[in-house]
Chains A and B, each alone.
Chain A
Amino acid sequence: MLEKALSGSKRYWIWVTLLLGIIAVGFVAYMNQFNNGLGVTGMSRDVSWGLYIAQFTFLVGVAASAVMLVLPYYLHDFKKFGKMVILGEFLAIPAVIMCMLFIVVDLGQPMRIMNVILHPSPNSVMFYDMIVLCGYLLINLVVGWTTLGAERKGAPSPKWVKPIIYLSIPWAVSIHTVTAFLYAGLPGRHLWLSAIMAARFLASAFAAGPAILILLCFIVKKVSKFDPDPGVGAIQSLVKIVRYAMIANVFFYILELFTAFYSNIPEYSAPLRYIFFGMDGHYSLVPIMWTAVVLAFLGIAMLVFPSTRMNKATLIIGLLSIIIANWIDKGMILIVAGFVPNSFERVIEYAPTLNEILVTLAVYAIGMLLVTILYKVAISVREEKAN
């Protein structure tokens, strides 16, 4: 089926070339990092994780969100999602691959990565994270490829794939739960040391992931003859999922704020005070966080009112607001502010460097390229069937 990605319109090839260009630039930037060390990034002794790990966290959510299509379709026989499920799975695959790449580019000694397998450490959450991520990638590859292959032949999917599909549902939850445990089990990082971390992660994932998927569907509809939602209201159903997930996410965040501020324990509220109001003359995250707050509420409003939810233009604005709000929260501030103030209650800020940003963009470009290829395959199969 992969050969379908080798033929396409001029626009398709321009897009692929553009992505390859970004990847090439990022590769050069990565070689610079590889040869000169992580000193070329903005990370420091105090803020020892930055943009890379934050992107990893955000993208685990995007990967997990495929379950929001798989679960209704396979468990509840929700037929409306029939044409979209494959797009969800084919979004999960590149998302997991991007997660892995972000881990690799974050390592100080990437050549030693196999040590994680050579010296397995069941005490470490990172060990389980590796297992669930690899497993999730495999599951989605097998399920996506097999179901699409069967569809191409006009046959029902083989029986053996059903149990794997059911397995993918708890597995999707597990990848984001384990990722939350990476942070939520660390003593002394008060922003992360929260029992509700995994729930927050899942809520934000189920908001941002399907929102990205809906936007992808709009693009698919625009550039191809394939319509993932041929008037059955699949997208509107997904919009509802995004809406409730986002409301839950904001609600969970408010719970965190309550506990931190009402209890009045200074250590617990310190990172939140830094994020929302700044601390000791350091304010770099304040405007960004308030942007996220405004966008979160704007996004929810756009998705609540039927008039804005049904209108494509306002729907897109709403979805974009939700994606950006979630990205700011999880793909940036959550990780960075976990280290601020540091163990000595000093505020040392972090800002990514150009090199770091180029590498990040390249990883995203790799992800987009994979999405493009996988979607091209899926769409071509669908178009072939339609003719």
Chain B
Amino acid sequence: MSINRRQFLRRAGMVTALGLGSSLVITGYRKKDAAASGYAKAPKDMPAKRWAMVVDMSKFKSEADFEKVIEACHKLHNVPKFPNTKDEIKWIWKDDYHHTFAGGHNEYLDEHVMHSPFLVTCNHCDNPPCVRACPTQATFQRPDGIVAMDFHRCIGCRFCMAACPFGARSFNFKDPRPFIEEVSTEYPTRTPGVVEKCNFCYERLADGLMPACVEKSNGGLIFGDLDDPNSEVRKIVGSKLTIRRKPELGTQPSVYYLVGGGEHA
């Protein structure tokens, strides 16, 4: 029997398709998964519909007040310290008023006010553009409003960094481990090539603890459920003058800055 090239290719193709098809069928049959089992939330897990944070800048008086808060977060989460700003990774940091609330400044504003420091972190927006942009759902919004990262799934395309209007996201340009001064075993480190940011300490919330920064802030950071009318954050946001970063973009940030200071609710 002699066959020409075309016939040969056609038959070879058919055999391959048959083989692939039947192997799929077989694996389909075999797919019997895990034993009967269930998943539940941790008993101490704090439920909320909308976690939010109020930053009361009047409570941050000295450099040390900022450092304490930033250190608490960065140490706990193994955030590396890179010597150059290019590879820098930040979860929570400070910037001055004029850069934090960029755009349309009163030109007569006092120099002192212009350069007064503000704490900045991920805003955990209600309509997060980063979540919309992510092509793998590696960054996603939890039912409690926290915008979280699944470092296992991130492909490192950095679309979320382009989408975030707040500069809240950092990318692991290099292996972070050699740049972690004191390793914390409470939280994993990251692998090179993934994006990271503040997670509102959801791992601590699951243990019934407040976020690390809040704990170290001496009342300067107030954390709670905005959906709960009796929560402290709701009372402040409802009755005091607070501002948010770039509200005009419609992302609805959940980090509020209490201006004017004074005693809150």
Contact = CB atoms under 8 A, between A and B. Distances in A.
Given A37-B193, A266-B103, A106 B174 contact: no
Nearest to B136: A115
B164 A188 contact: yes
B246 interface: yes
Contacts of B103: 266-267, 345
A344 B100 contact: yes
Contacts of B95: 344
Contacts of B161: 45, 48
Contact of B157 (A41, A107, A123, A188): A107
Interface string B159-177: 1011111110011111100
Interface stretch (A15-23, A153-161, A223-231, A335-343): A335-343
A189 interface: yes
Nearest to B174: A39
B134 A45 contact: no
A124 B174 contact: no
A126 B104 contact: no
Interface string A337-359: 01100111110100000000000
A124 B102 contact: no
A119 interface: yes
Contacts of A36: 174-175, 192
Contacts of B157: 103, 106-108, 126
A127 B87 contact: no
Contact of A123 (B132, B138, B155, B250): B132
B131 to A, nearest CB: 7
A109 B155 contact: yes
Interface in A100-141: 103, 106-110, 112-113, 115-116, 118-119, 121, 123-127, 130
Contact of B171 (A38, A116, A346): A38
A37 B133 contact: no
A121 B140 CA distance: 11
Interface string B64-106: 0000000000000000000001111110000100011011100
Interface residues of B, number: 50
B251 interface: yes
B155 A186 contact: no
A151 interface: no
Interface string A67-94: 0000000000000000000000000000
A126 B167 CA distance: 20
A239 to B, nearest CB: 36
Interface string A170-187: 000000000000110011
A127 B88 contact: no
A109 B85 contact: no
A27 interface: no
B204 to A, nearest CB: 25
Contacts of B136: 112, 115-116, 118-119, 121
A49 interface: yes
A338 B246 CA distance: 18
B135 A37 contact: no
Contacts of B175: 36-37
A107 B164 CA distance: 18
Given A45-B85, A106-B157, A116-B155, A38 B133 contact: no
A343 B167 contact: yes
A183 B249 CA distance: 16
Nearest to A114: B155
A115 B153 contact: yes
B167 A107 contact: no
A226 to B, nearest CB: 26
A370 B83 CA distance: 42
Interface in B46-77: none
B184 to A, nearest CB: 22
B162 A108 contact: no
Nearest to B129: A187
Nearest to B156: A108
B170 A187 contact: no
Given A187-B249, A266-B103, A344-B167, A126 B159 contact: yes
29 contacts: A38-B192, A39-B87, A39-B173, A39-B192, A43-B173, A45-B85, A45-B89, A45-B170, A48-B158, A103-B157, A107-B155, A108-B154, A108-B172, A109-B156, A112-B154, A115-B136, A115-B155, A116-B135, A116-B155, A118-B136, A186-B165, A188-B164, A188-B165, A188-B166, A266-B103, A343-B165, A344-B99, A344-B102, A348-B85
Given A38-B173, A44-B88, A108-B193, 18 more contacts: A37-B174, A37-B193, A38-B171, A38-B192, A43-B173, A44-B87, A45-B171, A108-B194, A110-B155, A119-B137, A121-B134, A126-B159, A130-B135, A186-B133, A267-B102, A339-B162, A343-B164, A345-B102
Give the top 7 A-B pairs by smallest Cβ distance, nearest first: A108-B156, A188-B165, A108-B193, A343-B167, A39-B173, A126-B135, A37-B192
Interface of B: 85-90, 95, 99-100, 102-104, 129, 131-138, 153-159, 161-167, 170-175, 191-195, 246, 249-251
